[in-house]
Amino acid sequence: MHISVVIPVFKAKPYLKELVFRLEKALRGLWVDYELIFIEDCSEDGTLELASDLALNIPELQIHPNEENIGQHPSILKGLKLAKGDWVVVMDCDLQEHPEDISRLLKKALEGFEIVLAQRKRLASNRKKAISSALFYRLMRGFGYIHNPEIANFGIYSNEVISEVLKMTKPDFFPLRIAKSTRKKTAIYVDYTETKTSTYTLAKRFKLGASIFWQQWR
């Protein structure tokens, strides 16, 4: 079995060493072949340099820098095109999501599911962040996307699901493509660690929403 882990990386320098360490420990414990695909999105804070240094000693780690900042979800889709695994894990870079939960996602998938989403046990404690998230997903429901805001990108997906997702021409928003998948899916509850800072501001959420709206209706 081969597992690909696709991670869009942006301003992740404070988390990178721990992220890679925990990913390697979690995946080695599964006794599988694996690859770590980091799509670095022009962070300009030393993230790319640190990631490249780490990759020198970790053959499973691939660093693919974007030539310009393209955003989280296009970066995910770029990474999916590079993934070779039988199963593909997508997660964020800031350690809010725990690499140790990959084993639980895989175990559930092997029960007969092709999509297993990680559902957070609680919403963000930051009131502004929680409100912006709720408003954003209310907008998404307007596109027919019935989504729980406690579910983000983190999940495990079969190779067949990824092939289906990549055949879709729009939108760039990865969870919406997953929502449109016809494959058998479920979710499990996971813990998460809320970070003090987030690059996903209210303005960025609504910019993303406007982009999705344009892609859906143009």
Confidence of residue 122 (pLDDT cuts 50, 70, 90): low
Task: Report if residue 202 sits inside a domain.
Answer: no
Task: Report if residue 138 sits inside a domain.
Answer: no
Assigned token pair, 16: 């990178």
Task: Report if residue 182 sits inside a domain.
Answer: yes
Q: Where is pLDDT greater, at 213 or 15? A: 15
Question: What's the confidence (pLDDT) of residue 198?
Answer: 54
Question: What's the confidence (pLDDT) of residue 193?
Answer: 84
Confidence of residue 203 (pLDDT cuts 50, 70, 90): low
Task: Report if residue 65 sits inside a domain.
Answer: yes
The mean pLDDT of the chain is: 84
Task: Report if residue 67 sits inside a domain.
Answer: yes
Task: Report if residue 213 sits inside a domain.
Answer: no
Q: Number of structural domains, the chain?
A: 1
Task: Report if residue 61 sits inside a domain.
Answer: yes
Task: Report the CATH number at residue 16.
Answer: 3.90.550.10
Task: Report if residue 16 sits inside a domain.
Answer: yes
Confidence of residue 199 (pLDDT cuts 50, 70, 90): low
Confidence of residue 207 (pLDDT cuts 50, 70, 90): low
Assigned token pair, 55: 């990759």
Pairing type for strands 33-40 and 87-90 reads unpaired
Residues 140, 206: contact at Cβ < 8 Å? no
Question: What's the confidence (pLDDT) of residue 173?
Answer: 85
Range with the poorest average pLDDT among 92-101, 130-139, 164-173: 130-139
Cβ burial of 104 (10 Å; 0-12, 13-18, 19+) is middle
Residues with Cβ within 8 Å of 144's Cβ and at least 6 positions away in sequence, in order, are none
Q: What's the pLDDT tens digit per position in 125-164?
A: 555 555 555 565 565 555 555 455 456 789 999 999 999 9
Domain with 81, as residue range(s), is 2-126+149-192
Confidence of residue 172 (pLDDT cuts 50, 70, 90): confident
